[in-house]
Structure 1
Amino acid sequence: MAGFWQTILAFRKYLIIVSVPLLFLPLPLAVPTKEAQCGYTIIIMALFWCTEALPLAVTSLFPVLLFPLMNIMDSTTVCQEYLKDTNMLFIGGLLMAIAIENWQLHKRIALRVLLITGVRPALLLMGFMIVTAFLSMWISNTATTAMMVPIAQAVLEQLHKSEMESSTAGQVSENINKAFELQEEATKPESSRETEKKDVGNSHVLTVEEDKKINENLLDEKHKQFCKGMSLCICYSASIGGIATLTGTTPNLILQGQIAELFPNNDNVINFASWFSFAFPTAIVLLVLTWIWLQILYLGFNFRKNFGCASSASEKVKEQHAYNIIKEECKKLGSMKFPEIAVLILFVLLVLLWFTRDPGFIPGWATVLFNKNDTSYVTDTTVAIFISVLLFIIPSNISNKDKQTGSKSKIRAPPALLDWKTVHQKMPWNIVFLLGGGFALAKGSEESGLSSWLGTKLTPLQQIPPPAIAFLLCLLVATFTECASNVATTTLFLPIVASMAEAICLNPLYVMLPCTVSASLAFMLPVATPPNAIVFSYGQLKVIDMAKAGFVLNILGVLTITLALNTWSSSLFQLQTFPSWANKTGKCP
């Protein structure tokens, strides 16, 4: 019997691939409509995405196969969804991130910030969180976590080593004092010394050894707790930092693409500047709450001690040793070289061009210089690709040196800041297909009439207050994203909630924004997101540790998103009114 279940477990992916389509096949057969056929495709893709029976990117190609066969869309129309403006923005942003990683610019930034914050427990935690969140805004959260965890491990090991050394020194000092006491005892009468030796001698030696062992155990336990808090702060900050910018994590780009797909006349409501205005304050609030919660959970309530206000001389020595570790790592990088400076300048230029292209409150450079009547010609993608092309043009070295080859000198041109071989190795091409699959699903739902059908079925929700709807959707998405990838979660939920909003005359952004941000609240399980898996692989954390810390953070995250939605975001996106660009049917006032 055990062998049978082991076989089932070993072949479970093949069983899912065969059984899921057959199990739901009665749906399009019993209800031979385009809506049912499109729903059948979405159900199969959702289950394959959740179980990962097939690679995520392969599942994303299903619309190319099924939509033409079901007469929902022709093959050319479906394929055009796989490389839209948003996909190119994703590629452009990643090319910049790859250049930053390639020249170790992110490591230099990380170490510089840690030198500023220092190594006192609470400040060290804050320093790593700030660095990780900032880097995750621009490069992938997986790469950020993979870089930050080894740095944190080195600092923590040095802190623990210094702590153990100071503890041992304290024990030696205590033993010396005991020896002086024994010398004083030698001046006492012989009879009293013999009595004291019998009563106290053996127990005293045992007590010293026991105290030493207990002290070491306490230090080990304290170190383990701090390691857990540091590991969690890195993976959580990587997820939170990605929320802040449009290119920080894939769900943000999916939202932009879905808005453009479902509401073509949306006046470019989601761009880099508008998203940053909404998401950056949200990420800051959530980051502060995370810092406070992890500090309470793993450092205790003694904030005065956590901030180093009551540090002893030995603790200051320990902190200095850890600080020297960071200083040495920084020295190894040396002074900034030309390629690092060039990449940094291009990065700053990219961010400035993104912010000033169409800020909203004043005419942007794109409107003034290129398209005064239409802001859809020059987009954030144009900027990203422009800077990306420069990375392949600008040389990585401005000084040409002759290289001797025998008796002849050979002059070679320096390589560019970025080459295609590096891009090919580091670019996650599967995400491009995931994005395209999501856009194809959204287009298929609209063409088949499934979106309209879902909208009519969800009209009873009009009786529920909008804040309650947004709060419940946040909880639902935050729970779902623990089991499925954030890309799959947003791809499945956004078209549905957009249809619901349109049906009940609610601003689509009022439900789409919180669902998108909630998809990044994957804090509870190691399998929920790659940063969680990376820190879990170091072996210091148990699943219960992540679940305990992550559960509270999920609640705090949902509350933070709800607060953001009903305060600054409401005026930023005019969420209290139903926009004209969403009124496709003309039913809403």
Structure 2
Amino acid sequence: MKFSSSLKFNEVSEWRDEYIAYDVLKKQVYKLEKQQAGLRDTYHDVEANERTSLMDSTHVSDTDAQFIPLLDRELRKICIFYESQEKDLLDDVAELQRLVQQQEDLGPNGNHYDTYQDEDDDDEDEDGFDIQHSPIMSRDGTLPRTHHRNRSRSTSMGAGVPSGSNFARHAPPLSQRRYSMSSNEDHGELEASIASLRSATHPESPQLAPPSSVGRGESLSRSPIRAAKNLANKIFSKDPSTSYVAPPETIWTSRTNYAWDVQLLFKRRITNLYLTATSLKAYVELNYSGFRKILKKYDKVTESELKDRYLHDVVEQATPFTLPSKDKLNGVINLLIDLYTKCVTRGDASDAKRQLKVHQREHIAWERDTVWRQMIGSARRGEGELNGIRALGGSLVLEEEKGLLDVKTPAGHVKLTMKQLYALVAVIVFIVLLNVQTLEGVEANRCFAILVFATLLWATEAIPLFITSMSIPLLLSMLRVIRSPDGRARLSTHEAAGYIFSVMFSPTIMLLIGGFTIASALSKTSIDRVLVTKVLNLAGTRPRTVLLAFMGVACFASMWISNVAAPTLCFTLIQPILRTLPPKSTFGPCIILGIALAANIGGQSSPISSPQNLIALQYMETPLDWGSWFAVALPVSAISIVLIWLLLLVSYRPARSPDGEGDIEIKPVRAPRDKFSLKQYWVSFVCIVTIGLWCVEHKIEPWFGDMGVIAIIPIVAFFSTGVLKKDDFEQFLWTVVFLAMGGIALGKGVTSSGLLEVMDDIIRDLISDMSLYSVVMVLSAIVLVISTFISHTIAAVLLVPIAKAVGSKMPGNHENLLIFLTGLICSTGMGMPVSGFPNQTAATQEDDMGQLYLSNVDFLKNGVPASMIAAFIVATVGFVLMKAIGL
């Protein structure tokens, strides 16, 4: 979690404005970064000026001279608030001690039990106990001065505490109360009080003179005489019944109703003060972390060395962060624990600590319950994402979709959205195809209906993509589409279900999970970021070189951490560059689009870089090993990246300054200075070994059997050694896994039902007079168009079986060649904002003013030509390389 979020959800709500303004300071750091690059803002940054008290618009070269006063201002604010809260807390604790002693002097009966008022009194406390007329009274019958104040003298931390915890919930904050006692006087009195109170509550302490038989309600000046009498009775008494004298009963040990009310009252007051003290301690720690975090970011962005100097010389010398202040606060907390031990738990210190911690957890849960519930609810509803857009099954959809029909009926509003209309059309078409004989054979006809139904839902995304995939085994089993291996009889529902589920979880799916494991380990140990930044550090400051370097890194990262995570990582790394660009510079949209297009190309570079590659491997009669895949995919990807880079240079001219005077200079990406840890070396070793085994899988097949078995190696190695945890496993892209499983099930259904045989006859008629290369060009065009408008994975699910059927009917059996070609071209469909996840991520990138970097025109102008270039490279260079490796 980012520190800004951590600060937001750990702060005390009443103190919200008193914490370090971390977000505002961070924005000022970025403004200083621009100034350091020699740039001056030419627009009014509305977001950065949300806290005008921290903004200094003067452009000076010394960033420290601008930033240190802002830090000093925040530090002064924190010190003033802390000193005020500390004084109020010390006053309240001193007053509490006085009341505790006063109640002890009254004795266990108090003699004022008749001071309660009727239940309908306006001043009665919420728990039925009138604090203003409480049993805590002086010996002359007058009320103490404390009880003439506001009822329920809880601190500001009492607000919102559940009544089951016996907390006062409607008390004024501490800052609204003032006392005449100074903090220094309180500190000295508190130190003496801690020692005397521990003497009374912990008689086993060696510094205590009074013996354990002294009652808590007795004066310490009389305790030696009483102790001597008790000791004499024990030694000289001959009567066993008089050999032990029980300690006298006190208000804290009595079981009367009066004593219970008094104990309950003091329990609430001590608990509230304890919550205030611990919250004040957390306030100090959170603000110190804030200073440390913002100084670390400042040093990183501006290449300064201010952090250690400012923390040691300034922050740690301020009152809230000094050792005496921390000791004083810890002393107050310990004193309150001792008071709770005495007044509530009858001397049991461990039980007192346990109860106070429970109260603290309940209070925190109560205070933050609403916020967390809102967050969780928003996340489950898919709210809160950028511009109301959320990811759903690999695509972006608008959160608020306008209804085509909104009719008010007695039963409520009837609303019909576009997606509901698509789903309704798909269901109607499905029912019609089931009842109309369009193909020969019951199984083939029903499988065709399922195929059309799934295709419509996948293309329109009327429901989540993986839900459509999960409906396929349901329909295949219920409609008895699957036939026996010899093709003569239909399998029963039970037999069909067993067959479908047996093929859904295949070695290919295990390979996909192994790829997720490697990607998660590389990301969690920051190896991906280290490698990427080291490469980018060599790119220099020329725009065209930086663009090519980022495109190459995005392509390479997509090979190992998927083309879902790779563009996100690269977009994070370019933020410092984008912040220092001149306004209206074309380099921003150019590099964002370049990263997206390169990440799409990276999706074809390795077998685990995208699900469509794994689907292609699944349909091959003899799956390619990694060496053969790399022999074709790497040259094709490299050539495509270079040609797309040239296209972007011609289209955007990113090196040109917006004012036409000279070229812009890019801020270099600094490589991390930290050395590799043992864990990072372990992850690197396991990944290299696994990839090496995948590359030579055919040669070691007698030992491992399949690439899916090799994929288990990183799973066992990382989860068993603690590199990855259970939570990491739960965060895998399981929707993609089930999407691939549904595609495999559909492919088996098409084959087993006889539908593929019917398609073979049609395909044979179409390609009877066409050469192999003519088929390659026609198939490439069809795959490119379809994969541009629908998900790449879905395009592979639909088109790879067709490619297999086409290849099987051609002389020479070119199944694997056409399947491989189809899988590669599926990744080249990138002409629209919805064409693949990298494009979707790029389409949501905004500048400092909240304006999108890319528009639909950018994708049409550059994405469509880039798609055609990449597909042409696959159909030409890729085709030659496939023939060279024997396909």
Q: TM-score, normalised by structure 1?
A: 0.73
Residue equivalent to 1:291: 645
- 1:374-393 → structure 2 map (5 Å cutoff): 378-393=705-720
Q: CA deviation at 1:26?
A: 2.8
Q: CA deviation at 1:489?
A: 0.6
2:883 to 566, 570, 587: 570
Q: Is the 8 A contact 1:445 1:451 kept in 2?
A: yes
Q: CA deviation at 1:18?
A: 2.8
Q: CA deviation at 1:69?
A: 2.3
- The question of 1:155 aligning with 2:553 is answered no
Deviations 1:141-194 (A, max 9, x none): 12111111122131132243xxxxxxxxxxxxxxxxxxxxxxxxxxxxxxxxxx
Deviations 1:307-335 (A, max 9, x none): xxxxx9x969x44xx12xx22x624xx22
- 1:11-26 → structure 2 map (5 Å cutoff): 11-26=417-432
Q: CA deviation at 1:526?
A: 1.3
Letter matched to residue 511 of structure 1 = L
Residue equivalent to 2:775: 469
Residue equivalent to 1:212: none
Indicate the larger mover: 346-355 or 245-254.
346-355
Letter matched to residue 293 of structure 1 = L
Residue equivalent to 1:33: 442
Q: CA deviation at 1:10?
A: 5.0
Q: Is the 8 A contact 1:63 1:78 kept in 2?
A: no
Residue equivalent to 1:343: 683
Q: Is the 8 A contact 2:625 2:697 kept in 1?
A: no
- 1:100-499 → structure 2 map (5 Å cutoff): 100-160=522-582, 220-221=583-584, 223=585, 225-259=586-620, 266=621, 268-299=622-653, 318-319=665-666, 322-323=667-668, 326-327=669-670, 330-331=672-673, 334-358=674-698, 364=699, 366-367=700-701, 370-371=702-703, 378-394=705-721, 416-425=722-731, 427-460=732-765, 461-499=767-805
- The question of 1:546 aligning with 2:859 is answered yes
Deviations 1:280-320 (A, max 9, x none): 111111111111111111127x9xx89xxxxx9x969x44x
Q: CA deviation at 1:450?
A: 0.6
Letter matched to residue 5 of structure 1 = L
Letter matched to residue 337 of structure 1 = S
- The question of 1:48 aligning with 2:388 is answered no
What CA distance in whole angstroms lies between the structure 2 residues aligned with 1:92 and 1:510?
25
Q: CA deviation at 1:253?
A: 0.1
Residue equivalent to 2:830: 523
What CA distance in whole angstroms lies between the structure 1 residues aligned with 2:581 and 2:737?
43
Deviations 1:530-582 (A, max 9, x none): 111111111111111111101111111121011134312112133xxxxxxxx
Q: Is the 8 A contact 1:142 1:530 kept in 2?
A: yes
Deviations 1:248-280 (A, max 9, x none): 111000011122xxxxxx3x3422222122211
SS at 1:458's partner residue?
helix
For structure 2, the residue ranges without an aligned partner over 5 or more in a row are 1-401, 407-413, 483-495, 846-851
Deviations 1:31-86 (A, max 9, x none): 16211110000000001011111111111122221112222221111111221110
Residue equivalent to 2:841: 534
Q: CA deviation at 1:4?
A: 7.4
What CA distance in whole angstroms lies between the structure 1 residues aligned with 2:540 and 2:596?
20
What CA distance in whole angstroms lies between the structure 1 residues aligned with 2:879 and 2:600?
23
What CA distance in whole angstroms lies between the structure 2 residues aligned with 1:4 and 1:238?
35
% identity of equivalent residues: 22
When Rg is computed on C-alpha atoms for both structures, the one with the higher figure is: 2
Q: Is the 8 A contact 1:350 1:383 kept in 2?
A: yes
What CA distance in whole angstroms lies between the structure 2 residues aligned with 1:346 and 1:380?
15
For structure 1, the residue ranges without an aligned partner over 5 or more in a row are 161-219, 260-265, 307-311, 359-363, 372-376, 395-415, 575-589
Q: Is the 8 A contact 1:523 1:547 kept in 2?
A: no
Q: Is the 8 A contact 2:430 2:450 kept in 1?
A: no
What CA distance in whole angstroms lies between the structure 2 residues aligned with 1:509 and 1:354?
19
Q: Is the 8 A contact 2:626 2:695 kept in 1?
A: yes
What CA distance in whole angstroms lies between the structure 2 residues aligned with 1:455 and 1:19?
28
Q: Is the 8 A contact 2:519 2:561 kept in 1?
A: yes
Q: CA deviation at 1:444?
A: 0.9
Cα 1:357–1:494 shift into 2, 3 Å: closer
Q: CA deviation at 1:466?
A: 1.8
What CA distance in whole angstroms lies between the structure 1 residues aligned with 2:843 and 2:832?
9
Letter matched to residue 285 of structure 1 = I
Q: CA deviation at 1:495?
A: 1.0
Letter matched to residue 41 of structure 1 = I
Cα 1:75–1:342 shift into 2, 3 Å: same
Structure with the larger RCO, 1 or 2 (CA within 8 Å, 6+ apart): 1
Residue equivalent to 1:215: none
Q: CA deviation at 1:447?
A: 1.2
What CA distance in whole angstroms lies between the structure 2 residues aligned with 1:390 and 1:276?
25
Letter matched to residue 108 of structure 1 = V
- The question of 1:5 aligning with 2:318 is answered no
Deviations 1:393-441 (A, max 9, x none): 23xxxxxxxxxxxxxxxxxxxxx1111112212x011111111111111
Letter matched to residue 378 of structure 1 = G
Give the paired residue count: 452
